[in-house]
Amino acid sequence: MKRNLEKIGFFLVAISGFFTPNSVTLMSIFLLLSFIIGIFLIDKEYIKKLKKNVFILPVLLLFLYLIFHIFISKNKIVAIKYTRGWWTILSLFIIPLFVKDVKKRNFVILLYIIGVFLAIVWGFYKYFTYYINLEKERLKGFGIGFLPFALFLGYGIIIFTYFLTKRKNYLFLIPIALSSLVITFTISIGPFISLFPALLVFLIGERKKERMIQIIICYLIFFLSSFSAPPYVEKLVSYFQAKPEKITNASIRQLYWRYSIYCFKSSPIIGKRTGDFWTYGDEFIPVSRLNQKEKFILLKDLNKNFHSHNMFIDMLGRTGIIGFILLIFFISTFLYYGIKIFLKDKDTGLLLLSLLSYIIFYSITEDPFFRSDMAFPLYYFFASHLNYDYNKE
């Protein structure tokens, strides 16, 4: 019976990794089911190991505080929808019961990578039909071929560079970073960026230090270029549009950040409540000096329950200084654990510190907990597996 439950639990964990880039709802359901099954597999030996788990306190505090926000929110359905990505932090304590070796871990990661590529294909189809079929009147001249050209250039360079990097020449990473920037402005960035933690962990499992360093350098170049290049790329894209946009994506994100900061100032202790965060546009607009275009975009996105594209600012606006401190406590625990492991096992410790750096860097322009394609639950899976191995020794 126990062995059958372990097989079912492993299947649920693996399939949740497959659905992670495509549906946060399905991913959460499968992880929740695996958590329920895992409860029946907990024994005294595992409880002893669990007591040593350094993530218990920050995870429980953060989880309970978010549950508290669901109760105090007027719109509880919206609050639950936003926090569902956080529910999976419970998997941190249960996944090691099902994934006990590198072979099983790599199988889960492989399914996840397949799911990522399916998300990329879907993103290509969605954007292709949007620009070609629905937006023909906005494109002029050969601009209608800009999207397929950018996709061909981006993926072509990535595939070509993959074989070149076998020579351990880090200069070949520059084309990868530039092509990833092209992809940023053509299809959804999320699935492509989500490959980073999967590839990182998959390769470190084979102790391929050189390739791991290559991946880190590549994505570091990408992050740096993504901060400086958008205005120039947006000008290039707008050249091919008959009716170019008057406001850039960078300006829109700054607008989101201003709104979140306003919510934090209005309620600094507990924030504006997770479920009601999008209902204060009428208060913000009169004091924000927005132009008509900014007002239109903000009100439209407020109706869509947008997120602030910055995990730290978003947490401040939604949950106040209390939620922000708990988030920092959680990340600091990752840092403490990573350093502790690094002093004992440099390969494994470097892996965890690299994942932490990825989370922090990407959280500046996104909210990994909110977006399904960021695959944050998978990071918990990595950390929990490492934690399980460390406590077992």
Q: Per residue in 60-88, pLDDT tens? A: 888 888 888 888 888 888 787 777 667 66
Q: What would the mean pLDDT of 169-191 be, rounded to a whole number? A: 57
Give dist(CA 201, CA 106) in Å, integer.
8
Residue at 76 is within a domain: yes
Residue at 326 is within a domain: yes
Decide which of 352 and 139 is more confident: 352
Give dist(CA 183, CA 176) in Å, integer.
10
Q: pLDDT class for 226, splitting at 50, 70, 90? A: low
Neighbours of 8 (CB within 10 A): 14
- What is the domain range of residue 96? 2-241+308-388
Answer for the pair 269, 323: CB distance below 8 angstroms, yes or no.
Answer: no
Give dist(CA 321, CA 315) in Å, integer.
8
Residue at 266 is within a domain: no
Total tally of structural domains belonging to the chain: 1
Name which of 334, 362, 375 is nearest 28 in CA terms: 375
Residue at 260 is within a domain: no
Q: What is the pLDDT of residues 27-53, one digit of tens each?
A: 778 888 888 888 888 878 778 777 777
Tell me the DSSP string of 281-336.
HHHHHHHHT--HHHHHHHHHHHHTT---S-HHHHHHHHHHHHHHHHHHHHHHHHHH
**DSSP 3-state of 81:** helix
Residue at 55 is within a domain: yes
Residue at 36 is within a domain: yes
Give dist(CA 107, CA 133) in Å, integer.
39
Which residue in the block uniquely carries the two structure tokens 């969605």?
Answer: 126
Residue at 371 is within a domain: yes
Residue at 152 is within a domain: yes
Q: pLDDT class for 108, splitting at 50, 70, 90? A: confident
